[in-house]
Structure 1
Amino acid sequence: MKAIFTFAFAILGCISLASNVSTETARKAAENKLSIFPEGFQIQAEQIFSAGAVEFYVYTLSPSGFIIVTGNTQLAPVYAYSSKGTFDAGSPLFSFVSNDIQTRFQALNVMPLRLLQERENAWSQLLSGPAQAKEFQQWPEAGTTPTEGWLWDNWTQNYPYNMMCPMDPVTSVRSIAGCPSVAMAMILNFHQTVNGVVFSDNDDYYHNYAGRQYYIDDDYVAQDFPSFNQLNTLLGILSDHYATCTGVDDIDRGALTFACGVACTQVYTSSGSGTFGVSQALAAYQKFNFTESQLLFESTPDLYTIIAQNIIDTLPVHLAVVDQGETMGHNVVVDGYNTDGYYHLNFGWGGTYNGWYSLPDEIPYGLTVIEGAVVNIIPDNSVDAKITENPANTIYPNPASDFIYFDNSENKITSATLYSLTGKIVRNTPITGEMNSISVKGIKAGIYMIRLNSISGVENYKVVVK
């Protein structure tokens, strides 16, 4: 039985004969990687860790962020980096990095020579000096969101996100939220919808895990969680908050997280909550009426191409990673991609470990840590609202190729959302302060709708991207 609670990845293969990297070489690689960071970032501290027979180097940055450099020239030189995230060696997520690097190192003996040569060339290029300017694209564009990825904020498995989860009958402590429900709730909150979901007796299930036996939702009084009637009411209030752009509060976050947990038929304890397979996440998205959602596996052709296209289309992906024996794992959100082949991961751990990672798309099937990915999580947002005329050029330029600007002189606009004519969200940008634009870079040419949500109401405009 596989429980999705934490990371622990198995080791396969034989030891590679590739060259190990010295401390001086690793630091030089990190210093040169800093060239892609905003001005003012510098290395603050260095840590060296062992991942079996290979080391890796973690550089804590000032004012924030980290760079992880691998310790072998036949591994990609930079494993992960972030200007926002934090790296905590004491976190349960530490094993994600350590064991994944070890697994990749052990897989070197089955990698094609062409790829190993490419990695050694990448080391040479990085060590030769700061990265040279080249054709590069990133979604979302650097500096346009506070987390580096599409998600606008970082959630955790603790309060307030677990405030409506069942009390643990063994410890008499509130259960933690669980990574599947947190990942799903973050994606739904990004899309600002619960898609009209309603829970009924058909969604009841018997909770039987680690000595905790009770019925969800029949035992709502004894275990102190909302009944389905209460939960439906709370989700209705959340929907109103989304529709009126008044913002969500802690009760909304707690209700959404628990609703996602119920849809996933999670099990709960105060030390670990989760599911037994990523198929439960797919069932949960289907319960929430995301009818186009699909579950792809490691063996799916073009898995990473599909994930990348979802990110380009502003559709965060629900990713499940497991150990080689499929006994432990974690659910994360993929909410960024760039043309250097890095994907932005949000671990649902309050920002810890969030950053740009090189997913193991080059490693042969059976040697990676990917259990599955739920893609095409597309909300039902049919655009049938009244179109506001634009006589005073409130929206400009139109057509646009880089940015669409709008009048926000009174700082009343709270979000700008770009839709295709079929109602699919193409880009969603929360607006704060004096912001007055939404980027349309990388979007295919065509006719779109832009919806401006403000404290005064909602206005929709037709725009052309060229």
Structure 2
Amino acid sequence: MKVLSVIILLFLSIYQGYADDVDRSVASRVAINFWKTHESLFLSNKSEDPIITDQYIHNINGKTIYYIFEINSCGFVIVSAENTTIPVLGYSFSNLFPHCSLPENIDGWIKSYEQQILYAKSYGLKQHLVIKDYWDRFIIPEHHQELYVSEGDLVQPLLFSSWHQGYPYNLHCPDGPGGQAYAGCVAIAMAQVMYYYRYPENGQGSHSYESTTYGTISADFQNTTYRWNEMVNCIYHYNNDALAELVFHCGVSVDMNYSVNGSGAYTQDCADALIDYFKYSSNIQYIMKTNPSINFTDSLKHSLDKGYPILYRGGSFPGHSFVCDGYQGDDYFHFNFGWGGSWDGYFYIDNITPGGINLSSQQAAIINIVPGQDYPVYCQYIDTLRAIAGTFEDGSGHQDYMENADCYWLIAPDEPDIISIMLSFDSFMTEEEHDWLTIYDGPTIGDPLLGRFSGSSLPGTLSSSGNSILVHFQSDGQQNAKGWFISFIGTKGPFCNAGTTFSSTEGWINDGSGPYDYTNQTECLWYIDPYDPAFDSIMAIELTFLSFDTEPDFDFVTIYDGPGMEYPILGSYSGQELPPFTLSGSNKILIRFSTDEANTRPGWQLKYNCVFPEYCNDTTFLTAPEGCFSDGSGLKKYHNNAQCYWWIEPPFADSITLTFTHFELEYGYDRLKVYDPTTQPITLLGDFTSTQIPPPVTSPGGIMLIWFNSDESITKDGWEAYYSTSNLSVKENEIEMFIELFPNPAQRNMNIFFTGHDEGQFKCNIYSTGGQLVFSKTAWYTTGKNLISADISAIPTGLYIIQVVTKNHVCQRKFIIKNR
């Protein structure tokens, strides 16, 4: 079957005049080998055998553009589907890349890759020797060692923040018809750079401008004290007025065009705004990638080497702005896109195709962003922090802390009902055994000690027994270091809600504690009840844990196979071992998290995906003299990203006529093509995309090939057709075979029922979705009804393909093995 599928693809590529130069198997090999050769720079625990836990194929008009591979459920690698470009477009070892509904600034960046790849495909560019060498290094085993990179080629991301443009970061932005305006990617990028420096304490001057929607928009920078210690890396549970005020002021400083549909401004205006309103050094420089007088890449690296984050412009619109805060090698730079950490990663910034389309004009950067001469402030004798959540550091910013420091921070929120204060360390580096950070469980040095730290090991989360904490930092007179950065939050109870419902078809769920430990006496429920109008049916739900750390034998995550606790338990987990992949037997799941009254841990995070019925897959072979078939969706809508074939070859047929009885596809994007594969080259008989029923199509060669392809969005009711043959002399027994599987989903045994029209030996094969043979059984069948049982108890939980092969027929079906 696989051989014939390859032949079919070859036929199509000959006719269409192009080929997807990089198929999925090659691209996945590139992704895995790239991960192996780079992970030691980013991950403390190197994986022995990284695996692909999810994948996405991006197509445009039937052409595969790139693949996104999720690795080990924690990162991604984007691989080009065109071998005349560089192989790896982007990657991350700590973030995922949701492929649906890309925000504008990220979409603009990815579209620059699309344009270059489409250009290469359309103009038949030849593979440059340098590009061939790149691909060979990831594909040919003996070349892999050449790709291992050293620590010297790397600047890890400088920013701790993961902010985004929506609620509650936009709380100070104009509010009007349609609700609160978005903050704008330029403002978020600019504010995150300022938060990195925690500068200035006060701005200078003021600014106003007119908006056709919101009237006069103003900010008084000079009379505003920016409350850096009240700002947070990411907003959890409590709105943050100090952070929202900073974001709004950044927007005003660049004349943000506010809108509820997306706010925009020009990246280059940030340079003057930082100097004029926020006291930053006049050495700030806006550079274009096309400027021949500078080395753009070297300028970026030079700025990042000194610890200066960069405001970056990318994409076709000047306002597509984000932060560049790290790099690896010469061409991959780390982008914080300003959407809560999603999509952040390292991306290739040069032209991906030598000799191809040049999109350098779309890129520019603001480098040498440095505060004024009164920076850094360094720590004072004592500082009292009254916010319910915030951050604080040793006072040195991105520089080393000062000698002979002796400073205190009292965390005592002006909030009632505070049960505990939690501290989470984002960075820590002091002169070992000489410079110390001491933390007390109360407001004085006479209170019990929570911890005393020195050196470079990152401390774990600390929790007070009451509503205040005292922190003391003391350094000696020599060998200073980078210092430390701490987040804090006051807790009033569990971080998670008593009951939360998730209705999207994929998503992430966690205990709600973010960078902190969860709280004692937690009792929370999450209902997964997915719905999406683009999909008509959901078979099951997959759960994959990304992290897991609870108090062993006391704090439990329990998963129920249904919407309530009266349904069967799929699993109950406690401790530090990552729970196994979980597959439900229904289309709803309940997750319960319960903790006791003592001892907490970092908690857990998982992602879920829906399993949809696969209406068609790969190639279906039809050998009966006549018959009806369809896209497989029945009364439902077909799925996105479908690519299916039907090979019709009845014995002794002189010609085949295809007649459609129903036809409804997304016009211009989803297509059905009919071929006569007996000619050289293959002959296209019909190309249909509409809601009109096509006319009958006849293949005079006695064989017909149908190809159905849908893109990544918008589905319709699909199609049904009837085929007949002429001048047919066929044996009575040569008709199509159908099989039934039950139960499905199965646990330990799978029953296979089919009607035999002859007798003989048959083979039953079970394959993983990756194509690996996991089970095979040979038995005899007879004329009439046959019932065969297969012991599948040794096969892991998951989605599988069962194939039944007889003398004259091959039939495939998908089935699920659920938790035992």
The TM-score, its normalising length taken from structure 1, stands at 0.69
d(CA) in 1 for partners of 2:89, 2:250: 31
Partner of 1:156: 164
Partner of 1:298: 289
Matches within 5 A, 1:398-437: 405-407=431-433, 410-412=437-439, 436-437=455-456
2:345 to 343, 355, 365: 355
SS in 2 for 1:456: strand
Identity of aligned residues (%): 20
CA displacement, residues 393-444 of structure 1 (integer Å, 9 cap, x when unaligned) = xxxxxxxxxx86345665559xxxxxxxxxxxxxxxxxx99573399xxxxx
Using the TM superposition, give the Cα deviation of residue 157 of structure 1 relative to its aligned residue in structure 2, in angstroms: 0.6
Distance 1:434 1:342, change over 3 A: farther
Distance 1:433 1:266, change over 3 A: farther
1:180 to 186, 200, 204: 186
In terms of mean alpha carbon deviation, does 264-273 or 30-39 score higher? 30-39
d(CA) in 2 for partners of 1:355, 1:433: 34
Q: Give the aligned residue type for 1:260.
A: C
Partner of 2:151: 137
* Contact 1:298–1:365 (Cα < 8 Å) also in 2: no
Partner of 2:131: 119
d(CA) in 2 for partners of 1:280, 1:199: 16
d(CA) in 2 for partners of 1:358, 1:232: 40
* Contact 2:327–2:334 (Cα < 8 Å) also in 1: yes
d(CA) in 2 for partners of 1:254, 1:86: 26
Distance 1:56 1:460, change over 3 A: farther
Using the TM superposition, give the Cα deviation of residue 63 of structure 1 relative to its aligned residue in structure 2, in angstroms: 3.2
**More helix, by proportion:** 1
Using the TM superposition, give the Cα deviation of residue 351 of structure 1 relative to its aligned residue in structure 2, in angstroms: 1.2
* Contact 2:437–2:474 (Cα < 8 Å) also in 1: no
* Contact 1:140–1:150 (Cα < 8 Å) also in 2: no
Using the TM superposition, give the Cα deviation of residue 73 of structure 1 relative to its aligned residue in structure 2, in angstroms: 1.5
CA displacement, residues 368-391 of structure 1 (integer Å, 9 cap, x when unaligned) = 36342111101125569796359x
1:49 to 36, 48, 58: 58
Q: Give the aligned residue type for 1:102.
A: E
SS in 2 for 1:121: helix
Distance 1:240 1:366, change over 3 A: same
Question: Please, which runs of 5 or more residues in structure 1 have no aligned partner?
Answer: 1-15, 142-147, 218-226, 243-247, 391-402, 414-431, 440-453
Partner of 1:341: 331
Partner of 1:398: none
d(CA) in 2 for partners of 1:99, 1:89: 13
Using the TM superposition, give the Cα deviation of residue 97 of structure 1 relative to its aligned residue in structure 2, in angstroms: 5.5
Using the TM superposition, give the Cα deviation of residue 188 of structure 1 relative to its aligned residue in structure 2, in angstroms: 0.6
Q: Give the aligned residue type for 2:187.
A: S
SS in 2 for 1:68: strand
CA displacement, residues 286-311 of structure 1 (integer Å, 9 cap, x when unaligned) = 22222221111122221121011111
Using the TM superposition, give the Cα deviation of residue 135 of structure 1 relative to its aligned residue in structure 2, in angstroms: 5.1
d(CA) in 2 for partners of 1:204, 1:83: 43
d(CA) in 1 for partners of 2:454, 2:92: 24
1:265 to 251, 255, 269: 255
Q: Give the aligned residue type for 1:99.
A: K
* Contact 1:298–1:371 (Cα < 8 Å) also in 2: yes
In terms of mean alpha carbon deviation, does 45-54 or 249-258 score higher? 45-54
Partner of 2:208: 204
Q: Give the aligned residue type for 2:190.
A: M
**More strand, by proportion:** 2
Distance 1:384 1:354, change over 3 A: closer
* Contact 1:85–1:352 (Cα < 8 Å) also in 2: yes
Distance 1:274 1:114, change over 3 A: same
Using the TM superposition, give the Cα deviation of residue 313 of structure 1 relative to its aligned residue in structure 2, in angstroms: 1.2
Using the TM superposition, give the Cα deviation of residue 191 of structure 1 relative to its aligned residue in structure 2, in angstroms: 1.1
Using the TM superposition, give the Cα deviation of residue 213 of structure 1 relative to its aligned residue in structure 2, in angstroms: 4.2
* Contact 2:325–2:334 (Cα < 8 Å) also in 1: yes
* Contact 1:195–1:289 (Cα < 8 Å) also in 2: no
* Contact 2:54–2:71 (Cα < 8 Å) also in 1: yes
Partner of 1:170: 177
* Contact 2:200–2:226 (Cα < 8 Å) also in 1: no
Using the TM superposition, give the Cα deviation of residue 92 of structure 1 relative to its aligned residue in structure 2, in angstroms: 2.7
Partner of 1:245: none
Distance 1:24 1:371, change over 3 A: closer
Q: Give the aligned residue type for 2:52.
A: I
Distance 1:334 1:175, change over 3 A: same
Using the TM superposition, give the Cα deviation of residue 136 of structure 1 relative to its aligned residue in structure 2, in angstroms: 2.3
Q: Give the aligned residue type for 1:20.
A: D
d(CA) in 2 for partners of 1:435, 1:140: 26
Partner of 1:190: 196
Distance 1:71 1:192, change over 3 A: same
SS in 2 for 1:57: strand
d(CA) in 2 for partners of 1:90, 1:135: 32
Q: Give the aligned residue type for 2:342.
A: T
* Contact 2:80–2:88 (Cα < 8 Å) also in 1: yes
d(CA) in 2 for partners of 1:433, 1:357: 40
Query: Larger RCO: Structure 1 or Structure 2 (Cα < 8 Å, ≥ 6 residues apart)?
Result: 1
Using the TM superposition, give the Cα deviation of residue 95 of structure 1 relative to its aligned residue in structure 2, in angstroms: 2.9
* Contact 2:436–2:454 (Cα < 8 Å) also in 1: no
Q: Give the aligned residue type for 1:170.
A: P
Partner of 2:304: 311
State whether structure 2 residue 381 is matched by structure 1 residue 388.
no
d(CA) in 1 for partners of 2:347, 2:452: 31
d(CA) in 2 for partners of 1:62, 1:160: 31
State whether structure 2 residue 34 is matched by structure 1 residue 25.
no
The TM-score, its normalising length taken from structure 2, stands at 0.41
* Contact 1:18–1:72 (Cα < 8 Å) also in 2: no
Using the TM superposition, give the Cα deviation of residue 360 of structure 1 relative to its aligned residue in structure 2, in angstroms: 2.0
Partner of 1:378: 370
In terms of mean alpha carbon deviation, does 248-257 or 21-30 score higher? 248-257
Question: Please, which runs of 5 or more residues in structure 2 have no aligned partner?
Answer: 1-16, 232-237, 379-400, 406-428, 441-450, 459-469, 482-820
Using the TM superposition, give the Cα deviation of residue 329 of structure 1 relative to its aligned residue in structure 2, in angstroms: 4.7
Using the TM superposition, give the Cα deviation of residue 461 of structure 1 relative to its aligned residue in structure 2, in angstroms: 5.3
* Contact 1:75–1:105 (Cα < 8 Å) also in 2: yes
RMSD: 3.8
Bigger Rg over Cα = 2
CA displacement, residues 91-132 of structure 1 (integer Å, 9 cap, x when unaligned) = 2336346422222225659x9x99921111010011123842
d(CA) in 2 for partners of 1:76, 1:127: 13
1:456 to 472, 488, 495: 472
CA displacement, residues 206-259 of structure 1 (integer Å, 9 cap, x when unaligned) = 123xxx140012xxxxxxxxx63xx655x41515769xxxxx981221111111
* Contact 1:19–1:74 (Cα < 8 Å) also in 2: no
